[in-house]
Amino acid sequence: MSSKRILVTGGGGYVGSRLIRSLLGRGDKTVILDLMLFGEDHLADLIQNPNVKIIRGDIRNDVLLKKALKDVDMVVHLAGLSNDPQCELDPRQSWQVNLEAPILLAELAREAGVGRFIYACSTSVYGKFDTGEATEDTPVKPLSLYAELKVAVESVILKRNREHFDVVSLRPATLCGYSPRMRFDLALNTFAKQAWFDGEITVHGGSQMRPCLTVDNMVHAYECVLDADSKDVAGCVYNVTQDNYTVMELAYLARDTVRPEARIRVTDHVDPRSYRVNSSRIREKLGFEPKQTLTEALLELRKVFESGEITDPDAPIYRNVALMKEITTEQG
């Protein structure tokens, strides 16, 4: 596989900081464009790397976008507000960051001669679906602004798919597992953190279905799409998941793997989102196979907890919406 120059927007984030390292390991050259909302200590080892160019800034800035796209072969677009509560904080800003900016970026990428544009959508576009597993052909039913914007961007950019400009949208399940830029606002990671540090897992409801995937497997999925033949990805949408669980099953899995003596407390606050997702298409067309089990990802997390690397697991930096609120308060 010949090496490529890949722009990863949001390369400093939870997924991005693992993806960048994996791409470098394969011999690719990378460009990171990121506002670094969550700091950049976790990127310290990359700063002197000649195969990484880091551009700090906002994806709403078209001058920066053009600079970041220079001589790039492919784009993986991850930057933005990456969950429901973050998007609800300031809908106007969410609209700009999660809708206008990605559409502009795709347009500028095409003009710059980029060959492939990979968009991080989400399985949350299925909202509530309780009659079997949602496939890519299942009508979407977004239940939040975050999911609505994901749907809107996907539909606009797929129309920009052209010869020599492949547009691909991946719909990842809820991710879990360790990243140098850690998130404890994702279901299984939250449960793992609560089990280890608090000795008690809190489950809101529990019967909702949630597809899950390790961040390691997600990195592998992006690489499958980066390496695929154009005919297999151009203009395509792919679900990316490994297993469907109830939220309660995830709580048990986290408890049993991370700290079996932890208690599980159930509250009756029920999240309306509930869906099972089918990912046969990416397995059959691109040969994607998850390499890591959820249990292995949890064991990796437990090792990190044991090492003492995470000293303040409740710090806002690990929970996107908490950090955004802190930033807004400081600016206000």
Ligand X SMILES: NC(=O)c1ccc[n+]([C@@H]2O[C@H](COP(=O)([O-])OP(=O)(O)OC[C@H]3O[C@@H](n4cnc5c(N)ncnc54)[C@H](O)[C@@H]3O)[C@@H](O)[C@H]2O)c1
Summarize as ranges the residues that interact with ligand X (CB under 6 A). 10, 12-16, 34-38, 58-60, 78-80, 82, 97, 120, 122, 172, 174-175, 181, 183, 186, 320
- Cα–Cα dist 296/131, whole Å: 30
Q: Which is nearer to ligand X, 34 or 223 (CB)?
A: 34
Count CB-CB contacts under 10 A for residue 133: 18
Q: Which is nearer to ligand X, 161 or 214 (CB)?
A: 214
Q: Which is nearer to ligand X, 127 or 260 (CB)?
A: 127
- Cα–Cα dist 245/71, whole Å: 42
Question: Residues 248, 253, 254, 255: what is their CA dihedral angle, to the nearest 10 degrees?
Answer: 90
Smallest distance, ligand X to C-beta of residue 13, A: 2
Smallest distance, ligand X to C-beta of residue 202, A: 19
Smallest distance, ligand X to C-beta of residue 172, A: 4
- Cα–Cα dist 186/83, whole Å: 9
- Judge whether 154 and 121 are in contact, CB under 8 Å: yes
DSSP conformational letter for 97: I
Q: What residues contact 327, with CB distance under 8 A and at least 6 apart?
A: 37
Q: Which is nearer to ligand X, 2 or 69 (CB)?
A: 69
Smallest distance, ligand X to C-beta of residue 257, A: 19
Smallest distance, ligand X to C-beta of residue 315, A: 14
DSSP conformational letter for 79: -
Q: Which is nearer to ligand X, 1 or 63 (CB)?
A: 63
Question: By Cβ distance, which residue is nearest to ligand X?
Answer: 13
The residue among 56, 11, 14 whose CA lies nearest residue 29 is 11
